[in-house]
Every structure is written in structure tokens, then in C-alpha cells.
Structure 1
Amino acid sequence: MLLKIEKWIDRFIDIIGGIATVAMLLMMLNVFYDAIMRYAFNVSSIGMQEMEWHLFSVVFLLGIAYALKSDGHVRVDILYDRWSPQTQAVINIAGTLLLMIPLSLLIIHGSIWFVHEAYISGEISGDPGGLTHRWLIKAVIPLSFIFLVISAIGFMIRNFNIYRGIEAPKAHSVEDDVF
């Protein structure tokens, strides 16, 4: 049962990672277009410049859940690598339960009013020609941390299965450190 839940969560988070990938491609196209227009034709758009940081926010915030799922997050490996897979699994579960999930829930709770206020007030960019509907980008904050909690549940299930010996730990190689 736990393996099925873990696989479902992994597939869901892969979709979120795919959305972040598409946002990255859109951001690159946006930056390319903006740079060409600015330096070749001396034309600048506030809306396009704001879209750059909006897309960057989407990439970063949605990428957090995918980084956890793919074990691409930052960790101090000086001691961790020397411990057994079972000890690593216990540390991963404890860190997720005691730090990651409570912090994520705090951010979700604290950012919902932020989105609500932007929506109710009809917040738009303060710059002329800027983007409207600022609540849309602000809504990515609680949404991304909801996805992080889902990914954390999958991460804990994976580590529980590693602890029980049902699942083998992911092998870490030098190629993993390239990206």
C-alpha cells in the first residue's frame, strides 16, 4: 500500500517538475525576447520584465518539491554519508516531521492572507505597463508549499520503506552533482 502511495506522489511531483520545466523554458524565451527588443530595437516593456521574475518565482517555488522528490536538495554530507541507510532514513524522517512539514504549514498558513489581500484589493503592478492580477503569482507561494508537503510525505514513505528494507536507497554518484 505504501509503495503505491509513494509511486502516486512521485508521479504527481514529476508533473509539478514538468510545469517548472515549462516555466523555465518560457522564462528563457521571455529573457531572450526582452534582451533582443531592448538592445537591438531600443524597446523595453515593463510587463515583460515583470514576467521574468514571475516565471523565475514559479520555477523556484515549484522546483522545491521536485528537488526533494529527486533527492536534489542541499544536505551536509560530511557525517550523513558515513551512516547506514537505516540511520539516514531515520534522520530524513525526523527532519521532515520536525522541521520541513511544520515550516511548510506555517508558510502556507501565513501566505494565504497575503494572496487573499492581493485578490480582494485587485492588486496590480505599481509600474505603468506592468502586470495585473498580482494575486496569481502570490498564490504560487502557498500552492508550492502544499506541493512540498505532498512531496515530503512521499519522501517520508520512501525513507520508511528504506528503513524497513523494502526499498533500496538511491545510489549517489558524482554525475548527480553536475546539476
Structure 2
Amino acid sequence: MKRPTAPWGVLAFFYKEAEVQPMLTFLHLIDKMSTKIGQLFSWLIVVLTAVIVFEVFTRYAFNHPNPWVFDASYILYGILFMMAGAYTLSKGGHVRGDILYGFFSPRTQASLDLILYFVFFFPGIIALTYAGYTFAEDAWLIKEMSSVTADGPPIYPFKTFIPLAGFFLLLQGVVEVIRCVMCIKAGEWPKREEDVEEVDVEKLKASLGKN
């Protein structure tokens, strides 16, 4: 059996021995999990909106501001932001230099992504998960309360989401690395799970023009 000579040939060689469909099934399983988690926590936007509307109403209608709203708003937004990380990664939605990246071939894109995952992504997320676990453990031990406002709400449940979000990001990161290896071998990106996508205005105009 001839070993591949392309960049990252060792990784591509190991992938060659695997069955493609079971691997895709595994990738889509993790993608679905990340999607479900992202969709579940997206409902916090509704809760956050209701809290802000309630605060605006009571402040201006009854001249009765609620100090707890500030804590509640950043806790809700923080949880939403963290728990949407794996979902966004599974959809390829994180910010990247698309101006240059988009001109590269899929193999070059995958090779570059693979390098960046191991140089930046995994060290950063592992550090986040480890530090987040320490923060959450300490917060639970002392039953930490918010010090931003008087009689602030408990924030130790909030800190629990830091290592949890890190774990799901790590899991999705492993999937993305496998996806990169598959792309290097096959020359094209494996299909992702379909979900709600941004509207392509030009394609929409073309579609309407045909009707």
C-alpha cells in the first residue's frame, strides 16, 4: 500500500484505513448535539429580553428600578454566549480571515485549520476548561454571591457553565480536526448537518428573478 505524500500524509494515511460512512455518522452525531445545545440555550434570548423589558417598564412607569436586573442580564448573556460556542463552531460560524481563506483550495484550508487548531484552539480551550473548573469549584465551596450590587444573586451556578462550555468546545474541536483530515484526504470538505443559515441575498434575488 502506497503511503500518501501530500502534506499531513501520516494523518491522511490513518484516515484511509477507516470507513467513511461511520466517521461521517460520528461527526454528524456530535454536530447534532452541539446544535441541540445551541438551540436550547438560544431561548435565553427570550428570557433576557423579558427581563430587560420588565426593568424598563418598572423603572419608567413606576420609578422603581430593580438592582438584580443588571446581574441577571450579564449572567443570562454570559451563559448564552458560552453555550453557543460549540454550536457556532459546528456551523463554521466563528470569525476568520475569509478574504484570503476563501481563495485557498479545500486541502489548503484544511491544512491551515489543522495547524491553527493545535497551535491556538486546543491550548486555549483546555486552559479555559481547567481554569473554569477551578473557578466553579471555588465558587461552589464558598457559595459565591455577586458583589456588583447589594444583595446580589448567587453566581456559583453561573460559573459552572465555564468548564461545561469548554468541554463541549473541546468535543466539537476534535470533530473539526477529523473533518480537516478527511478534507486533506478527499480534497473536499465533508458535508455538515443542515441548520438555519444566513440568507444569501444574491441567490435570493436570482431565485425571485426566475419565478
TM-score past 0.5 threshold = yes
| TM bin (shorter chain) | 0.7 to 0.9
Name the amino acid aligned to 1:118.
Answer: A
Q: Percent identity?
A: 26
Contact residue 89 and residue 160 of structure 1 kept, 8 A = yes
CA 1:48/1:170 → structure 2, altered by over 3 Å: closer, same or farther?
same
What CA distance in whole angstroms lies between the structure 1 residues aligned with 2:37 and 2:119?
24
CA 1:166/1:82 → structure 2, altered by over 3 Å: closer, same or farther?
closer
Count matched residues. 175
Looking at secondary structure, tell me which structure has more helix per residue.
1
Length-normalised TM-score, structure 1: 0.87
Tell me the residue number matched to 1:130: 152
What CA distance in whole angstroms lies between the structure 1 residues aligned with 2:176 and 2:23?
11
Q: Summarize the alignment of residues 77-92 of structure 1 with structure 2, pairs less than 5 Å apart.
A: 77-92=98-113
Contact residue 180 and residue 189 of structure 2 kept, 8 A = no
CA 1:142/1:153 → structure 2, altered by over 3 Å: closer, same or farther?
same
SS in 2 for 1:115: helix
Length-normalised TM-score, structure 2: 0.75
SS in 2 for 1:42: coil
CA 1:166/1:7 → structure 2, altered by over 3 Å: closer, same or farther?
farther
Are residue 143 (structure 1) and residue 143 (structure 2) matched?
no
Deviates more, 1:6-15 or 1:70-79: 70-79
Which one scores higher on RCO, CA 8 angstroms, separation ≥ 6? 1
After superposition, the CA RMSD in angstroms is: 2.3
CA 1:173/1:20 → structure 2, altered by over 3 Å: closer, same or farther?
closer
Compute the displacement of 1:109 (Å): 1.1
Q: Summarize the alignment of residues 1-179 of structure 1 with structure 2, pairs less than 5 Å apart.
A: 1-126=22-147, 127-132=149-154, 134-165=155-186, 168=189, 175=200
What CA distance in whole angstroms lies between the structure 1 residues aligned with 2:90 and 2:50?
27
What CA distance in whole angstroms lies between the structure 2 residues aligned with 1:121 and 1:152?
33
If you compute each CA radius of gyration, which structure gives the higher value, 1 or 2?
2
Stretches of structure 2 lacking an aligned partner (at least 5 in a row) = 1-21, 202-211
SS in 2 for 1:60: helix
Name the amino acid aligned to 2:118.
Answer: L
